[in-house]
Amino acid sequence: MGTTVKTNPSLNRLIEELKALSREHGAPLWRDVARRLERRRQHWSEVNLSRVSRTAKEGETVLVPGVLLGSGELTKPVTIATYRASSGARAKVAKAGGTVVGLRDLAASNPKGSGVRIVG
């Protein structure tokens, strides 16, 4: 089996930006996320809100390198950065007082990647 070629230009740009950020700031978090996004989509993490609720502390920043799904309940306000989130997940996070941001936004605001928990 050969390697897969990503055809989504936005995703390819994000992967390259994360790798460059990792090199510039010495942050291995962003290289790890880029490598996870380079995988085949069927191997991406699909994380439910119930899992985020079990692992995250109140006010924490959580990174989901894949897809955030809306199964389960979120009872505490957290900031969740993900490549993609379902509309149900976005609504439940907002209801709990948290926010959903894109990976590019989190990388821009936190180039060192400090204080971020990866779930998935």
**Residue-by-residue pLDDT tens, the chain, 120 positions:** 556 788 999 999 999 999 999 999 999 999 999 999 999 999 999 999 999 999 999 999 999 999 999 999 999 999 999 999 999 999 999 999 999 999 999 999 999 999 999 998
What pLDDT, on the 0 to 100 scale, is given for residue 3?
65
pLDDT at 1: 52
pLDDT at 2: 58
Segment holding 100, helix H or strand E:
strand 99-102
What is residue 118's predicted lDDT score, i.e. its pLDDT? Answer: 96
Q: Which two tokens stand for residue 6?
A: 């990503």
Domain extents in the chain: 9-118
CATH, domain 9-118, list 3.10.250.10, 3.100.10.10, 3.30.450.20, 2.40.10.330: 3.100.10.10
